[in-house]
């Protein structure tokens, strides 16, 4: 884990994504292994909007190791076609923001996978919370497709 100003423990305690990793905050998990975790965004730009994070806390790309970067990219490659298929989308956008200046709002490195339909707006951030039931139903379908 990256050394924060107040030490590792404080970073993990204050980071919502570290809390999800530690099972101390709820999330609709899609996949987990020793290096990465993926889950549905609670304020999706479109249904299926997912986030992939490294298990170790890094604020952004600038401290990410090659191995962690590779693990996130490989999982994105596996998850992208599944999300596109399950949401019946025309395309899929991948975004990754580093630093407040870039628009980053959660400071645990993450990659966005956003299903896109022709003609729909191409924003990076959603404006409304999805319902828990919609997220749960979609996560189940994605997990089932991933396990095939």
Q: Summarize as ranges the residues that interact with ligand 5GP (CB under 6 A).
A: 16, 27, 39-43, 51, 97, 103-106, 125-126
Site for Zn ion contains 15 (CB under 5 A): yes
Helix/strand number for the chain, H first, E second: 4, 5
Beta strands in 11-122 (DSSP E): 29-32, 36-40, 50-54, 91-95, 111-116
42 binds, among Zn ion, ligand 5GP, none (CB under 5 to 8 A by kind): ligand 5GP
The residues annotated as belonging to the active site are 110
- Give, as ranges, the residues between 75 and 134 that touch Zn ion (CB under 5 A): 108
What is the number of the residue whose Cβ is closest to Zn ion?
A: 15
18 binds, among Zn ion, ligand 5GP, none (CB under 5 to 8 A by kind): Zn ion
99 binds, among ligand 5GP, Zn ion, none (CB under 5 to 8 A by kind): none
Residue position matching structure tokens 């290096």? 35
DSSP state of 105: -
Report helix angle 66-86 to 132-146, nearest 10: 110
């Amino acid at each position: 884990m990256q050394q924060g100003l107040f030490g590792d423990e404080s970073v993990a305690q204050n980071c919502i994504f570290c809390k999800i990793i530690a099972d101390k905050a709820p999330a609709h998990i899609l996949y987990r292994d020793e290096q990465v975790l993926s889950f549905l965004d609670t304020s999706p730009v479109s249904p299926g909007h997912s986030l992939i994070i490294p298990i170790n806390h890094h604020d952004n790309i600038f401290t990410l190791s090659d191995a962690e970067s590779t693990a996130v990219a490989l999982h994105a490659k596996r998850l992208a076609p599944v999300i596109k298929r399950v949401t019946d989308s025309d395309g899929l956008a991948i975004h990754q923001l580093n630093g407040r200046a870039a628009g980053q709002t959660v400071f645990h490195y993450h990659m966005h996978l956003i299903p896109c339909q022709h003609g729909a707006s191409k924003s990076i951030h959603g404006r409304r919370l999805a319902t828990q039931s919609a997220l749960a139903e979609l996560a189940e379908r994605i997990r089932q497709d991933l396990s095939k």
